[in-house]
């Protein structure tokens, strides 16, 4: 599966980061671009910080909400 890219918005929990993935879609009637944001709870062994750009992949469920894992830090803030 292709890695998903996003920005870390919180890293306050132990070995867990919350990553926001932004996507744009076009409104069907008004044709205006709309930004949508999805938050993922991701397992973090690399020690990411808020503002970092990361790539993550799906893994087997680690907890109730964590089904993703960070594979690479693309850019640090």
Q: Give CA–CA dist 10/66, Å, rounded.
A: 14
**26-73: per-residue pLDDT in tens?**
999 999 999 999 999 999 999 999 999 999 999 999 999 999 999 999
User: Which CATH number does the domain housing residue 14 bear?
Assistant: 2.40.50.140
- Domain that includes residue 39, residue range: 4-75
Tokens of 43: 């397992």
Give the predicted TM-score (pTM) of the model.
0.87
> φ, ψ for residue 9 (rounded to 5)?
-110, -20
The tally of domains found in the chain comes to: 1
């Amino acid at each position: 599966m292709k890695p998903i890219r996003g920005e870390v918005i919180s890293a306050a929990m132990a070995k867990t980061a919350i990553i926001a993935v932004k996507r744009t879609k076009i409104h069907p009637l008004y044709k205006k671009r709309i930004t949508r944001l999805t938050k993922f709870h991701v397992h973090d062994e690399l020690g990411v910080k808020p503002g970092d750009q990361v790539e993550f992949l799906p893994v087997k469920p680690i907890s109730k909400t964590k089904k993703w894992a960070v594979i690479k830090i693309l850019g640090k803030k």
